[in-house]
Amino acid sequence: MKILIVEDEHKIANSIKKALEHERYIVDVAYDGTSGYDLAVSETYDLIVLDRLLPGMDGIEISTKLRANSVHIPIIMLTAKGQLVDKIEGLDSGADDYLVKPFALAELFARIRALTRRPKTATTTILTLDGLTLNPQTYEVVRNGVEIQLSSKEFSLLEYLLRHPQKVLTKEQIMTNVWSYDSDVLPNSVEVYIKHLRDKIDHPFPGPKLIHTVRGFGYKIGLQNKS
């Protein structure tokens, strides 16, 4: 799951980012409103944590513009303003939830879980494909009854592949959706992690392989069609 944090207070933003990454979320951070809006409309996110008072473009304007442009990513708005009129203004701008500073990270995480469980953003709880299952809630991966241990990045890569079965995904698409935008990731990194996945979910098991290279294009997961 990929989250965008738009917060100009670096200490708060970095603290939230570190805590979310510890919970295996993929996190991008923008420290001003303009950069945050640009990321929100150019990248793919499951949720936005948005500060209300920002340089460049404030949270109310960002939320309003996103909704006007049919961007319906769930938004949690953060603010030091706790008056009822301020909450109403934030919610009326299109935010889905409103959290007043200071707040406990545990409460933020609970609100994130609640929003991402909603039908408009939730997907199948357990992803399955030809004897392989992945549970995004428990981080369990099993093939043919055998539990497979994956690193955080391997898990995120496999989850992304399983959410697009039989679809050819380019290295650029994988880098965008599995790594944060400011990561020092190269196309070769995708090849390395694909190899790691094959070593864990394909090579130890008899029968058809699930991860395939589509030369000149990228990778896909699923059984090969017989010609």
pLDDT exceeds 50 at position 225? yes
Rounded mean pLDDT, 190-210:
92
Which of 22-26, 30-34, 81-85 shows the lowest mean pLDDT across its residues? 81-85
Question: CA nearest 3: which of 85, 98, 86, 76?
Answer: 76
> CA-to-CA distance for 169 and 188, rounded, in angstroms?
15
Segment 175-190, tens digit of pLDDT: 888 886 656 677 788 9
Question: CA nearest 3: which of 130, 156, 126?
Answer: 156
At 9 the pLDDT is 94
Segment 28-69, tens digit of pLDDT: 999 999 999 999 998 889 899 999 999 999 999 999 999 888
What residue spans in the chain does CATH classification 3.40.50.2300 cover?
2-116
pTM, two decimal places: 0.62
What residue spans in the chain does CATH classification 1.10.10.10 cover?
127-221
Rounded mean pLDDT, 11-20:
93
Fold of 2-116: Rossmann fold (3.40.50)
Chain centroid to CA 60: how far?
Answer: 23
At 138 the pLDDT is 79
Is the CATH number 1.10.10.10 carried by domain 127-221?
yes
